[in-house]
Amino acid sequence: MSILKKAFHTGVGFATTTTETLKTRYNEMYAEAEKRQQTNEQEGEKLVATLQKNVESKYEEVRGNITGRVNERVESFAGQLNTTMDKFNIPTTDVFKVVEKRMKTLEKKVGDLSKELEARKN
C-alpha cells in the first residue's frame, strides 16, 4: 500500500472515530439537558405548590383578620346605636315585635268578644 492510501485510510478511521465520539458526546449532553429540564420542571412544580400553599394560608389569615375586625366594628356600632336609641327613647325592632304580638292577641280577643256580643243579640 502506498503512503497515500495509508494516509487516506488513517483519515477515514480518524473521521469515523471522531464522528462516533461526537455522537456519543452529543447523546450524553442531550440526556443531561433533558435531565436538567426534568429537574427544573420538578423544582418549578414544587415552587408553584409551595407558593400556592403560602398564598392560601395568607388568604385565610387575612380573611380571618378582616372578618374579626368587621365583626368588632359591627358589634361596636350596634352597641353605640342601641345606646343612642335608648337616650332618645326610640323603640327597637324587638319592642315593635312584642307590641305587634300583643296587638294580634288583643285583636283576636276583640274579635272573639264581638262574635260573642253578636251571638247574645241574636
pLDDT of residue 111: 92
Q: Is the pLDDT of residue 75 over 70?
A: yes
For 45-53, the CB contacts below 8 A with 24+ separation are none
Return the half-sphere exposure (C-beta side, CA atoms, 13 A cut-off) of residue 65. 6
Distance (Å, rounded) from C-alpha 24 to C-alpha 15?
A: 14
Local confidence band at 1 (pLDDT 50, 70, 90 cut-offs) = low
pTM beyond 0.95, yes or no = no
H/E run at residue 1: none
pLDDT in tens, 77-115: 999 988 998 899 888 888 899 999 999 999 999 999 999
pLDDT band at residue 74, thresholds of 50, 70 and 90?
A: very high
- pLDDT tens-digit profile of 6-53? 766 776 677 778 778 888 888 888 888 888 888 888 888 888 888 888
Cβ contact 82:92 at 8 Å: yes
